Amino acid sequence: MGNSICLVCAADDNFSMPLAATTRSVVANLTNEQHLVLYVIDGGISRVNKSRIIQNLKSEQVSLKWLKVKKSKFKHLQTSSSITIAAYYRILIPELLPPEIDKAIYLDSDVIVRCSLQELWNLDIQDNYLLAIPDMGATYVSSPRGLINYQELGLAPDCKYFNSGVLVMNLKKWRQEKTSQKIFAYLDKYKKYIRWHDQDAMNAVLAGQWEAIDSRWNQMPYLFKYPSWQNSPFSEEEYDHLVHHPFIVHFASRDKPWHENCSHPQKSLFFEHLDSKIWSTWQDEQLAKKQRQQNLDPVSKLYISFKQKVKFLFKELIKS
């Protein structure tokens, strides 16, 4: 891999267009000398949309590799209307990437990068499991939006809570300490306390073992709920930099830039990195797919579910 930047993203077909915007924003900010090795954990992206993602990248500075994941590993995990199984894929990054890769940047597929990732890549991870940014809506585990059971876990109230949308991961340490297995074990043991999916589990397992970095690497929508810097946890200078000069804009709310009701003040940034010709029919296609799924009669749904279970059992039988 040499001096290449290693980036990992994850998406299902519902996030194929957002993924294209995210990855293109990364490429648009590479210098001529930089090279990107991009791993995409594929949660069911269609062949057509994979082709669109590649076309949208428009760069020879990228080596793109698709990674498959066994969905059966995630079938009992909590999801919501806006959070799908794909949110948990990042937990498996140390296992999915080649063992010789010791470090990787992970980005959610609803971010827009506004500068070169080289500076983020060059940060010294030391012996930390992660480099991350405290969540702007829950700075500490004791915050109302933090960990419900932080006291039961023996965590101090001032223990910081990070957002999992932008991470620099110490893959070597994760593998050595079997961190992915520990996170899955937590998700299973503390199901009733999980609100923010993979993010809660990672914060519980890695509490106090990650390092906070410049918040400009993950500007979150919660920032705009503060009327001014005096009402925020930031200094005047930090607040100004975050609002006007973020390195990464993260559309980390239910309403996304491609939704009509999105009121994010910087939503136009998202469309700057999409080729409108390539993606002109995407939203109509997604809507049609959703309607087809909703229109399936109960018998059809039962039949599809039965087929999937038989297919899974057959694969398990072959393996054994």
- Taking only the tens place, the pLDDT of each residue in 26-60 is 999 998 889 999 999 999 999 999 999 999 998 88
Of 76-80, 90-94, 110-114, 177-181, minimum mean pLDDT range: 76-80
Average pLDDT, the chain: 89
Q: For 137-143, which contacts have Cβ atoms below 8 Å and span 24 or more sequence positions?
A: 137/220, 137/222, 139/233, 141/203, 141/207
124 with 268, same domain: the answer is: yes
Decide if 170 contacts 102 (C-beta within 8 A): yes
Where is average pLDDT lowest: 67-76, 202-211, 255-264, 277-286? 277-286
Q: What is the DSSP letter of 206?
A: T
- pLDDT, residue 219, reads 97
Question: Residue 15 class from Cβ within 10 Å (0-12 exposed, 13-18 middle, 19+ buried)?
Answer: buried
* 134 pLDDT higher than 80: yes
- Whole-model pTM: value is 0.87
Dihedral sign of CA atoms 27, 32, 34, 35 in order: positive
Q: Is 80 exceeded by the pLDDT of residue 132?
A: yes
Look at the alpha carbons of 262, 268, 274, 278 in this order and tell me if their dihedral is positive or negative: positive
Residue 225 DSSP one-character state: G
Domain holding 31: CATH number?
3.90.550.10
The verdict on 182 and 119 lying in the same domain is yes
Query: Could you tell me the pLDDT band of residue 123, with boundaries at 50, 70 and 90?
Result: very high
Do 46 and 11 reside in the same domain of the chain?
Answer: yes
- What is the rounded average pLDDT of the residues 193-217? 95
Pair 259, 312 in one domain: no
Does residue 173 share a domain with residue 311?
no
Same domain, 199 and 303: no
- Shared-domain flag, residues 10 and 100: yes
Within this chain, do residues 174 and 302 fall inside the same structural domain, yes or no? no
Q: Which residue has the higher pLDDT, 6 or 72?
A: 6
The answer to whether residues 151 and 276 belong to one domain is yes
Q: Looking at the structure, tell me whether residues 224 and 319 fall in a common domain.
A: no
pLDDT of residue 73: 76
Phi, psi torsion values for 28, nearest 5 degrees = -60, -20
H-type alpha helices, 129-273: 171-177, 179-189, 197-205, 236-244, 268-271
The reported pLDDT for the residue numbered 307 is 67
**pLDDT for the residue numbered 291:** 67
| pLDDT of res. 249 | 97
Q: Which of 16-25, 175-184, 294-303 has the lowest mean pLDDT?
A: 294-303
* Identity of the residue numbered 98: P
Task: Look at the block and give the residue holding tokens 């894929």.
Answer: 89
- 154 and 50 inside one domain: yes
Say if residue 25's pLDDT is above 90.
Answer: yes
Confidence of residue 311 (pLDDT cuts 50, 70, 90): low
Mean pLDDT to the nearest integer, 11-27 = 94
Question: At which residue do the structure tokens 């899974």 appear?
Answer: 312
Structural domain including 309 reads 281-320
> How does pLDDT run across 62-109, given as a tens digit for each residue?
999 999 988 777 777 877 666 778 889 999 999 999 999 999 999 999
What is the greatest pairwise CA distance in the chain?
62
Q: Which residues pair with 248 in a beta bridge?
A: 113
Q: Looking at the predicted structure, is the pLDDT value of residue 152 above 90?
A: yes
Q: Which two tokens stand for residue 258?
A: 């491609």
Asked if 118 contacts 176 with a C-beta cutoff of 8 angstroms, the reply is no
For 219-263, what is each residue's pLDDT tens digit? 999 999 998 999 988 999 999 999 999 999 999 888 888 888 888
Instruction: Count structural domains, the chain.
Output: 2
Q: Which residue has the higher pLDDT, 301 or 183?
A: 183
Q: Please give the Cα distance from 23 to 113 (Å, whole number).
A: 8
Using the predicted structure, report yes or no on whether residue 280 has a pLDDT greater than 90: no
Are residues 208 and 230 located together in one domain of the fold?
A: yes
